[in-house]
Amino acid sequence: MRSRVRGKHFIHRWYEKSWASELFSETHCHLTRLNQDALGRAIAQAQKSGIELVLNAGGDPESSKLAIQNAREHPVIKACVGLHPWNAGRYSDEVLERLRELVRHPQVVAVSEIGLDYVGRMSSEGKFVNEFADKEIQRNAFREQLNIAKKSGLPVIVHDRTPGQEVLDILEEEGSVATGVAIHGFSKDSTYAKRCVDMGIYLSIGLRSISSQDNEALKETVKQIPLSWLLTETDSQNPEGVLTVAKKIAELKGLSTEHVGLTTTQNLRKLIRQHAH
């Protein structure tokens, strides 16, 4: 019996060690805002912490092009391209055509950041303002980008700040789950979460929301969501923060941080069809 236990412990230690260099993943961040030196430091620190998969979101054609450039310079980064709902006022045939060209690049693994926002946006001065792009324009931009993703065989990572389940209705109508969907910065209720899981949609848990002291409702919902449908993200310029997200999820679910990190990384690889090897 003692030798069996030793063997079991040896296998467990080997298993953890074999995954130590690729334990965590960043589903959604904004590295295109960093200069080359700052980007290099952020990625070096992330890799030192065991993060070997970082999805860098675009918000318009220009930042999407930068995301591709970042991915060319740092293989750990994968690019995402899209028109953020805050930028839906720029929606045009020309912008859509530029996005169609960008999704063809081999570094691109998802269409992001796209979705709907009826709450507010960041102004050009970097302040949050309670105004948003015309709802119908947002919906049209969202549907067109879902179509681009579907035709390209790419998943979508979706921004949803609407009062109900309109985003899920549109995703269902457009058949987007066939090529993969994740809701980024998930902060809705358990009813929404259950519908996502039933549809086959991943829920990405953000650093700010999961770390908030007064967000008990979200924490209770995260407890209920199967780990097989969770992802981790920071929505920031510091991917290393996903370690904190994984730790918080682990505490809520009574699991090890390593197990949460490994499982959510496998989930992300399934979403972008880039399986661990």
Domain containing 37: what range? Answer: 23-271
* HEC string for the chain: CHHHHHHHHHHHHHHHHHHHHHCEEEEEECHHHCCHHHHHHHHHHHHHCCEEEEEECCCCHHHHHHHHHHHHHCCCEEEEECCCHHHHHHCCHHHHHHHHHHCCCCCEEEEEEEEEECCCEECCCCCEECCCCCHHHHHHHHHHHHHHHHHHCCCEEEEEECCCCHHHHHHHHCCHHHHCEEECCCCCCHHHHHHHHHHCCEEEEEHHHHHCCCCHHHHHHHHHCCHHHEEEECCCCCHHHHHHHHHHHHHHHCCCHHHHHHHHHHHHHHHCCCCCC
Q: If pLDDT is split at 50, 70 and 90, which confidence band does 127 have?
A: confident
Whether 1 is covered by a domain: the verdict is no
pLDDT at 2: 37
Convert the pLDDT of each residue in 148-205 to its tens digit.
999 999 999 999 999 999 999 999 999 999 999 999 999 999 999 999 999 999 999 9
Whether 6 is covered by a domain: the verdict is no
Whether 15 is covered by a domain: the verdict is no
Q: If pLDDT is split at 50, 70 and 90, which confidence band does 11 have?
A: very low
Q: What is the pTM of this model?
A: 0.90
* Mean pLDDT estimate for the chain: 91
Whether 14 is covered by a domain: the verdict is no
Q: What is the mean pLDDT of residues 72-79?
A: 97
CATH number at residue 130: 3.20.20.140
Q: If pLDDT is split at 50, 70 and 90, which confidence band does 7 have?
A: very low
Overall number of domains in the chain: 1
Convert the pLDDT of each residue in 83-122 to its tens digit.
999 999 999 999 999 999 999 999 999 999 999 999 977 7
Whether 7 is covered by a domain: the verdict is no
